[in-house]
Amino acid sequence: MGFALSHMQVRSSGFSSHGRLPARYAVEGDNLSPPLAWSGAPEGTQSFAVICHDPDAPLVQSGAYGFVHWVLYNLPADLEGLEEATGEGTSGVTDFGGSGYGGPNPPEGHGLHHYYFWVLALDRALDLEPGLTLWQFLERAEPHILGMNRIVGCYER
């Protein structure tokens, strides 16, 4: 299918679409991953993955822009969401240099940033090893994407 929106719906009980992310999900707060829920996964979905990316971050590296805050994969097909501060799945590497969720931390005075929480439905369980970067994950997952969608949260320091 490629990297395109589908009819799958993504929501959060922690913030509204295009609403402000509470400080509890930011680095300067509790740095907890927010709760996410999804529905309408395409038929044939065998696993899920979640990515959080900030395209407003003033960073360009190796032809990519923005900042990767979360890469989470190997999520089972029967999952319909993630609880706050989830321990589910396998973590990849963020642009913070570590694994697991890293919340919003825009430069002071840089204005409003948008955090895209993408949920990807895959046609098979990839059973990928921990520690993949976003680009390593996407290289392996892209041929298996059945559908995807996102919720966007905003944050400003």
pTM (two decimals): 0.94
CATH number of 9-137: 3.90.280.10
pLDDT for position 63: 64
| Residue 18 to residue 67: CA distance in whole angstroms | 18
The whole-number mean pLDDT for each consecutive block of 10 residues of the chain, a chain of 157 residues, reads 76 98 97 98 97 87 82 98 98 96 93 97 96 96 96 96
Phi-psi region of 110 (alpha: psi -120 to 50; beta: other; left: phi over 0): alpha
pLDDT for position 95: 94
